Each structure stands twice: as C-alpha cells, then as structure tokens.
Amino acid sequence: MNQKIARFFEERRPQTPCLVLDLDIVEQNYNALETALPDARIFYAVKANPAAEVLSLLTRLGSAFDTASVPEIQMVLATGCPAERISYGNTIKKEADIRRAYELGVRLFAFDSEPELEKIARAAPGARVFCRILTSGEGAEWPLSRKFGCDLDMARELLLKAKDMNVQPYGVSFHVGSQQKDLKQWDLAISQVAQLFRELEAVGVELGMINLGGGFPTRYRSDVPASAAYGQSIFDSLRRHFGNRIPETIVEPGRGMVGSAGVIESEVVLVSRKSANDSKRWVYLDIGKFGGLAETMDEAIQYPIEVLAEEMGEESFDPETEAVVLAGPTCDSADVLYEKAEYKMPLALKAGDRVRIHATGAYTTTYSAVCFNGFAPLQQYCI
C-alpha cells in the first residue's frame, strides 16, 4: 500500500466514496514510459483522468496530449500547454468542434472515414491528419476494436486522397486495446502499418508518423509486464519492419499513466444473504458501476480490494474469509461489480467497515454518474 495515500486517508478521514491520487506515482509512470520508449513522443490520453493537477504535472514534464473533445483541449490549454502539443485523436467529431480546435491552435487530427477526412479538410485547412486502422483487440482486457479504425485498403485509399485535399497526410494510428498484456499485438499492427507505408510511398505519399496508441497496463489482481518489456518489444518490432527508417513515433498512454496512482476508499453499506443457506454473502459498497467503477462491466477489470482490518476493531476481527458478491448502492440491478470473479472478505465484515479499491486512478472519476439516485459524483483528491 502506498504510504502517502494511506496517511492522507488516516489524517483527513475524507467522506467516502473518494479517490486519492498520488501525483508522484504519475510522475514515476511518465518517467518509466519515457525511459522505456526514448524515441516516442508521449501523448497522455486525457480521458483516463483529466484532473487539472494531473494535466499540469504532465505539461510541466513535457508531455503532449491526446484529446477527444473541445472541453478536453481547453482543459489542457488551461495548464499552459502549447497547442502544438495537442492531438485531436477522436475519429468522431462535429465539424464545428474541428473548427473550434483549429482556432485554438490544434493542427493534428485523427480520422478513419472519408466523411471525417472531408470535415477536417474543410474546418482545419493545412492540418496534419492520421488515419486509424482497425485492430482485433485480442489479448486486451478492455478491447476498443470494431468501433474505431478502418481496414488497410480503405486507409491507403483515404491517405492517398488526403494528398489532393487541403490537409497533410501525416501518419497512421492504431490502438491494440486497453489493458493489453500481449506484447505481440503491437508487432501485428506495426507490420501492417509498415506495409501501408511502403504501398503509399510507391504512389508518392510519404508518411512521417506512426501512432502506437495506448494499451499499456496497470497491475490489478495479476502481474503485468514492466514498461521496459513493452519498450523493448515495440522497438524490436519497429526495427524489424522499418529497418533503419523508423518514422517518428507517438504513444498515447491513459491507464498506464494514472491507473496505479489512485486508491478509492469506500464504506460497506450492507452485508446480507438472500436465503438462510445462501452460500455467498452480498456486500454492498457505497460505490458501484455508476459511481465510477464502470470498467467492472462484464467483470473485465478486476480491482484488488483490501478490507481495512483495523477499522473492524480488534475483538470482532476474524481473519477467516468467505466468497462474496460485490455490488454498488444504486437501485439498478446492473449495479453488481463482481459475481463470477472470486472475491473473499472476512466473515466479520459489517456495515460501516471500510474497503480500499486499489489501482483506480484511471477511468473512474470520469465514468461516475452526475446524480443517479441522488449519489454525488466520485470525489477526487490529488496529493
């Protein structure tokens, strides 16, 4: 357990549920990625955790930013980050928003279809554009496939078309899926991109950039490869497929930058059984799917959860544990966190006890509902 975060909880006793984010860990994660991929430019995926403190820290460290909307662009600009360090990476944008981003100084835009490319050419004349290709999302715990990207034939056709439009065909992007633990997935995508680069070069389009996306993991209940392993594997792949003509590279870490920096504290609201001989107790927390833990959908992301023994009182504490179903506090039956995944909690657990949900720095505050059932959005403290 992170001592700085533990001390904050003990001294401040904040109301639950809340997320405490350690900015030192964000800085460590940034440095580790930079060391692992020394030639790649880091574009932090703002959606993972857009807290002003996180964005300011990363601006100071020299990071660039992957954004998905005008408000995200404005949040980044508010930290003093120059617009040249911002990419508008969403492939689904209103033309008015493209124009607004362009007015704000953004010159790098993603697309994966012809109508989107046309919008960019009209609203952001002269901008650099990159085409996102489809990936399978295989091996990822939170795949992003299908919705984003186009196939290689279409990408080639569109980048060729872009040459004769009012934009600069600049590169290709992909995302191997979030929480990607299979290093080979980058190699598969990089080999396809290299092929695309060669085919386009043959018809007079010289691309300069490959955007390797996000996917760098956070350690949840099981180990993940270290940043260095990702860096080595990606570098080897670039060498293999591009030889000594490796283009400029970009990475867009979201989860890998902030996931491990956060801990949520939550209070047990109720422990109950559905029948006298129910084999599993139901443990209802004051946070659920609608309070920020949306990534428990299909039990995809399994956070490590720690019961605070000292909270339970010396006498009543029984170390014996038993399987539980974990659920949130709202009146929606979809608000169950884990039923199939095995989570065990002490038999002595009761309402009022506290639990800590670890590795929750990414994709929690932004996924929290505004006021479902009257519950306030997830509070965050950056320390």
Ligand X SMILES: *Cc1c(COP(=O)(O)O)cnc(C)c1O
Candidates 45, 150, 293, 349: give the one binding ligand X (CB under 6 A): 45
Count, residues in the chain: 383
258 touches 219 (CB < 8 A): no
Per CB under 6 A, the segment of 42-50, 113-121, 157-165, 271-279 that binds ligand X is 42-50
Candidate ranges 29-37, 196-204, 214-222, 340-348; the one touching ligand X (CB under 6 A): 214-222
Total number of residues that touch ligand X (CB under 6 A): 16
Query: Can you tell me the distance from the alpha carbon of 162 to that of 244, in angstroms, rounded to the nearest whole number?
Result: 27
Site string for ligand X, 237-256 (x = CB under 6 A): ---------------xxxxx
- Convert residues 138-177 into a mask of x (bound to ligand X by CB under 6 A) and - (unbound): -------------------------------------x--
Pick the closer one to ligand X by CB: 72 or 252. Answer: 252
Return the structure tokens found at 156: 């080639």
Find all residues with CB under 8 Å of 251, minimum gap 6, and list them. Answer: 33, 37, 40, 41, 42, 43, 211, 212, 213, 214, 216
Q: Are 258 and 337 in contact (CB under 8 A)?
A: no
Among 20, 23, 40, 47, binds ligand X (CB under 6 A): 47
Residues 198 and 159 sit within 8 Å (Cβ to Cβ): no
Identify which of residues 295 and 335 has a Cβ nearer to ligand X in the complex.
295
Q: Identify which of residues 216 and 284 has a Cβ nearer to ligand X in the complex.
A: 216
41 contacts ligand X (rule: CB under 6 A):
no
Strand, coil or helix: what is 159? Answer: helix
**Residues recognised as catalytic:** 331
Cα angle value 218/219/223 (rounded, 5°): 135
Nearer to ligand X, 50 or 254 (CB): 254
And the tokens for 88? 């508008």
List contacts with ligand X (CB under 6 A).
Answer: 45, 47-48, 66, 89, 175, 178, 213-216, 252-256
